[in-house]
Amino acid sequence: MTKVFYDPKEPEMRFEGHAGAGEHGKDPVCAALSMLMYTLLEALPAEGVERYLADGYCWVRGGSAETYEVIAAGLRLLAAEYPEHVCLEVRR
């Protein structure tokens, strides 16, 4: 399961784990999560944003709160459709 932690006040987002919805390299849920994660990384400026990327892990902090909200909307859809593979936790 991939767990995504989102703090809109920072803003900050952390992805942990693998979706496990299919075989390695052919997992459609993992592909969707990866696309959202890489979209977030690409949409944020290089300066003023902290980021760390490793196998099964991504952490990003800083930049436009609106960008994070768009990504969170996609994550909400994935978590609703695949609750056994995606968990989105939003800090309030």
Task: Specify burial of residue 11 (Cβ count, 10 A radius: 0-12, 13-18, 19+).
Answer: buried
- For residues 73-91, give the mean pLDDT: 97
CATH topology assigned to domain 2-90: Alpha-Beta Plaits (3.30.70)
Q: Tell me the pTM.
A: 0.93
- Token pair of 69 as six digits: 């909200």
CB contact burial 22-60 (16+ within 10 A = b; e otherwise):
eeeeebebbebbeebbeebbeebeeeebeeeeeeeebeb
Predicted confidence (pLDDT) per residue in 40-71, tens digit: 999 999 999 999 999 999 999 999 999 999 99
Question: Can you give the length of the chain in residues?
Answer: 92
